[in-house]
Chain A
Amino acid sequence: MTRAALSALLSHWRNNPLQLVMLLAGLALATALWSGVQALNAEARSAYGTAENLLSESGAARLEHPSGQIDQAEFARLRRAGWQVSPVIEGRAGLGTGRVTVLGIDPLSAEAGVGAALAAADLEGFFSGLGYAHPQTLDEIGPTDHPLRATQAVPVGTVLVDLSTADTLLRADGRITRLSVSPIQPDGLQPLEILAPELRLIAPEDGAELAGLTDSFHLNLTAFGLLAFAVGLFIVHSAVGLAFEQRRAMFRTLRALGLPLRSLTACLAGEMVLFALIAGAAGLGLGYLLASALLPDVALTLRGLYGAPVPGSLQFDPLWALAGLGMTLAGTALAGAQALWRLWHMPILAPAQPRAWAHASGRTMRLQAGVALALACLATGLALTGDGLIAGFTLLAATLLAAALAVPLVLAAVLVGAARLARAPVAQWFWADSRQNLPRLSLALMALMLALSANIGVGTMVASFRATFIDWLDLRLVAEVNVLPRSQSEAEALHAFLTPRADAILPMQRIDATLGGQPGQVYAMKDHATFRENWQLIEPVANVWDRLAAGEGVLVNEQLYRRAGLRPGTSMLDLPGIGALPVLGAYPDYGNPLAQAVLSLDRFDAAYPETPIRQFAIRTNDTPGLIASLQDDFGLLSTQITDQAQAKDLSLTIFERTFLITRALNVLTLSVAALALFAALVTLSGMRLAQLAPLWALGLTTRHLAALELGRALALGLLTMVFALPVGLLLAQVLLSVINVQAFGWRLPMQVFPADWARLGLWASAAVLAAAAIPALRLWRKGAAQLLRVFAHER
């Protein structure tokens, strides 16, 4: 019995192959976008795990000096006192044709971890200079003077070597970067505060872990994946709903012939599971391809923004595949639940005529309006009182859903108004008929609205960010030349060399520190017009620059200012080795995930003596002459010099990469929405024949009807676009003033870009026309024969 029933039910799809293709495509695309994003996230998180497990499996605490360097003697003293500490040297160095992070460990004292295990595999080789690196790193840097062995266990961009090899590569002069502290220590040790008061013990959870730093980035990706998944589910819901309507007569017949309701429902549920598995498998394949295509850019972004070592190639994880299939099944259940519920409650003798989707009824419209209103209230409440990233994303979701649910209501009102204003009979019919068919297209139009408003919102956010970022870069990167000394002695020599040749020499020194409970850095700032004239401060106190120069307080970056809720003039900030200092103002610091504080150079030198100079920013009015002199007379390598243009290019490249994935997902979401509209129009075109046939009989040509169908799709698309515009701007405002502040710690002014909207409008129109073209073309070319069949079927 079940087999016969299944066979009857499945015959519907045999007769409507395009509908089946749309259902499977919608499901596969939804799965692909969601699982693609998940694959990216999983790959990145796995890479963070690799990085964190390299030195210790259990997460070791570390000892650091504010200057970033620890003397060998200090290490020896602690070991003699019984402390189980292990030295680590870490720094950036040129190797082969690239630059890598050199990580030097002492395998004999190192905590059990991946690094120690690698070294132990060939201890003799390791001691004599053998290093380990990710295969991708080896490809990137090419052949080197040092023997390197490939391993997946070392993060991309890092080379693991013995301490002495690292010392040579980094010219560390015997100075250790930090000491790794074993979690298990002998009893009765003298406390570190007494033994080494100048060293700071940093617990593993206090460090700037990559997973924590990059959380917002991954949350953004997940939100986009979820949006695309939701848009895909609109297609599925639409296709399942239509198939249900078309098979009402069959359901009635099957039940009249003795098939129990339970079996019928089970058959339909089974059918959905089957489709979900087929489409889910295809979607996983597509998702894997998508993630593979996007991963290199995501990896570059994560490396550029956070220094996160993410490889550019994707590994297959069976758990990811299972989770993706699970999501597809859950999505299908969600999309098909309404159809199954209606079947379960359908009386056996329910009318067999397909009626319009339930949305057509005034009751459903009222319900939809009620839900939209409730969501709008929730969004308003969250906007006024919400706090945190989750609240921010809930606000976004509620805003988008409320707007999506309002789409049919708004469009219905506009179409009714247009029908009233129309004078010509065809125009009158056009608007009235559009209103009547609105419920059948509403799901696709809601998906289109979601995609368009997401495009406008994210586009406005990115463009606003870009404009602000470029202005900010112009002010921030005013130094004509930057040079990177390789050692402190070279820095001193450079300073002496530059003094008669440059207008100003601005040294860059910094220490790592925990600021306001967050991982961060303290910088030294020389009092100079470069900063006074170009840095635009947020809430500065009076005479801020004079007070900073006098060492009376600190400037903090916007991230720290917002996250720690600091108020210039009243708040104090604790600095290691100094204590609490007044906060004098905040400065924008886009693209930096860390907290930052700026001290006057004198105050910094007094608090953190011997901190190496990492960079000089040089003001000059003869950039080419100075660069030539630095290379020819001083002997500086070209890789140690960057001019202003290079620095700006680098920053902009990182910026563009950061939003590359966002743009890609934007385009994909719009494509899915176009597909949803195409699916709705194609399936609707069959049902439309009965509505169009009388007009044809009354004297409208099929060409005229096809043009009207195209015009209707375009009009609905454009009306949706007009509605999406304020929603998108609202979305941008939420992104800029809520999500960005929560995720990154900076607030940006919103700017509007009407040219971008016009471009998006053209793209959306093209997508809508492309979606409507095939049904319209079919109506034009083969319409007469199909329309005639409407009259023939009357008997």
Chain B
Amino acid sequence: MEATSVQPTIRGIGREAVTAVSEGAGEPEWMREKRLRAWGVFEATPMPRPTDEEWRRTDIRGLKLEAFEVPAQPGGDFHPETSTDHRSGFVQIVDGYVVETELDEDLAARGVVLASLEDAASRYPELVRKYLGSVVPAEYSKFAALAEALGKGVFVYVPKEVQVEFPIQVSSTMTRGGIAVFPRTLVVAEPYSNVTFIEQMYSDDLDQESLSVGVVEAITGEGANVRYVNIQEWGHHVWHFLVEKHQIERDSQENSLNIGLGGKFAKSNVETALVGQGASCEMLGLYFCDEEQRYDYHTLQDHVAPHCFSDLLYKGVLRDRARAVFSGLIKVRPGSQKTDAYQTNRNLLLSDNARADSIPNLEIEANDVKCSHGASVGPVDPDQLFYLMARGLSKQDATRMIVDGFFEPLTSRIPLEGVREKLQAAIDQKME
């Protein structure tokens, strides 16, 4: 394995780490250039300030990037993802390193690629060069630049007209506190192909803070169908940053589901750009914040082409002193006539000290469109609670049932039963 060729020295986030990551992976020269260029962008971009519009409600002054170590090798002691679900492929990532890759042989024979991004850069340079950073360039944000500079991750490629029958699952874990990982995912679905991709991040709760800065780029070709699920279950010690952006072409269909349960802090930018006419997407989100967790979602439905449809539904439950911000934008570019776009954010507060802010936005530059947005923040309906208690359920069981029902339209969309059950267990645990 490439990782073992690197001397396990401790190094912080810096230019040296960028070079070391690239050398350790034995990457081609162009990939290293790309990383170093991104590092330059990272250095040239100031940290977000509370005065920046996007960061007005979320304070990250407590984040000290210099405190984290970039792991030189994966920790040996991790909980592997175990599953009895039918999967077409599986990748295990530990401390940022791909340690296991499995792909159905038939699919491999038909040209499907499932590989670490570092391997793919050597083996499929023309594909990786073409697509990596094409949807989320380093200039997107300081964190996107950081992820491009130090990122390691997964490349999925589905050739034209290939149908991937069962989901491909990627499980990523961290074994230690004090480290930083930069998960990078690139999904390319060529025209008329079909794939379901589930990405999970999980770890125990540890004392020392850790950092995850990730970028997901997913390209859905003409007439293709992609389902993408991202589940974040880091321990409560992790700062989590994610830019997840989908680009969907003509007549394609894309469904994304972003689930947030873990972390100390989570900032997620989830975007879909509908760039070909007749494209259609569903963007779903579920979050459950407890204790002192801080979540900040920025979503964008970017209608670049006419006759497209987008429907966004994000639902959150908050308890204890948790806080969430949802800020969603529907953007309809000039000429994107006959756009059909909907955005809904609902928040359920289980304690008086929890807080959610919901900020819907529309920016419409076409005149023949249908757009709507709705937002709500409120406690559990006391009449619903009484109704269930009048049937013998304790207050806690009644609340749990209302929460389960609130999330049901989202949890029912998770395509692997085993993953769905574990998620339900995680939600149940948060209700304790």
A and B, one complex?
A: no
